[in-house]
A and B are shown apart, each in its own frame.
Chain A
């Protein structure tokens, strides 16, 4: 019972924070709102039983990605507070999104898979998860490591490009 309540709480907080993200003006505040979203989601994951994912969410997303973004915001000294928040496409954007939501909702609601009764009771098993990674999804694992290497090389390249005008 309490789990259900907590679930609703965390879900609601995620939504509120996300809505705030769109409205707040200062980028730092937006970043903090995003952190709030992510932490709420981590809570949801934990309540759903996938603790590993929850931990990774906090570690990677909040700990690395958001920190990086905050660093960037601090680096780029934002003085232009008078800059308008919203682009020219505000109204069309909202309209488009509403239509999008409507269509997706209409589509999804008819195709939702039935939650299998047997699965509802199954808890997330870390052993099985790790084993699956190294047996069935080993190719994806390797590819992601390649992707990380590529990202490192790209970051270095960007560094060089950034250095050259001054170097």
Chain B
């Protein structure tokens, strides 16, 4: 059951990335994806009693933190340029 929940969280996160326009909201949906992954890891760790699952979860925490630490400033810099948070305005790498 929990596996299904994890899958659902991941899928919702992915859908959010595809669907939402606001950049910060997209970032948050990516966090949601990571959370879904974490849940599945913990579930497996608990079911098979392996320490690897928990360790990996901690590592995912670290990575997520580092990622956010960089992603938010990037978003800030981008917005400072164009003054718009809508992702549709950032199609400069077209073609």
- Residues on B with C-beta less than 8 A from A14 are 5, 9
| B25 lies within 8 A of A30 (CB) | yes
A1 in contact (CB, < 8 A): no
By the criterion of a CB under 8 Å from any partner CB, how many residues of chain B are at the interface?
A: 66
Binding site for A on B (CB under 8 A): 1-5, 7-9, 11-16, 18-22, 24-25, 27-29, 31-32, 35, 38-39, 42-49, 51-52, 54-55, 57-59, 61-66, 68-70, 72-77, 79-80, 84-88
Q: Are A129 and B54 in contact (CB-based, < 8 A)? A: yes
Partner of B5, one of A15, A128, A152: A15
B58 touches A53 (CB 8 A): yes
In the complex, what residue of chain A is closest to B77 when comparing beta carbons?
Answer: A162
Residue of B nearest to A84 (CB): B21
Contact between A27 and B19 (Cβ–Cβ < 8 Å)? no
The answer to the question of A6 belonging to the interface, with a C-beta cut-off of 8 Å to chain B, is: no
Q: Contact check, A68 vs B15: say whether CB atoms are below 8 A apart.
A: no
**Cβ contacts A to B, 8 pairs, < 8 Å:** A11-B2, A18-B12, A22-B20, A41-B35, A45-B42, A93-B18, A116-B47, A159-B73
CA gap between A18 and B75 in the complex, in Å: 23
| B88 near A87: Cβ-Cβ < 8 Å | yes
CA distance A165 to B54 in the complex (A): 44
Q: How far is the CA of A73 from the CA of B68 in the complex (A)?
A: 13
In the complex formed, the residue of A with least CB distance to B14 is A97
Number of interface residues of A (CB under 8 A): 80
Contact of A85 with B39 in the complex, beta carbons under 8 Å: no
A21 engages B24 (CB within 8 Å): no
Q: Is the CB of A158 within 8 A of B73?
A: yes
B27 contact set on A, CB distance < 8 A: 69
- Smallest beta-carbon distance B68→chain A, Å: 5
Complex-state Cα separation, A94 to B19, whole angstroms: 9
Contact A150 B66 (CB under 8 A): yes
Name the B residues within 8 Å of A137 (CB-CB).
52, 55
**Closest residue of B by beta carbon distance from A122:** B49
Collect the chain A residues with CB atoms within 8 Å of residue B76's CB.
72, 75-76, 162
* Contact call A41/B39, Cβ cutoff below 8 A: yes
Interchain CB contact (< 8 A) of A132 among B1, B35, B51: B51
User: Contact: B21 with A147, CB < 8 Å?
Assistant: no
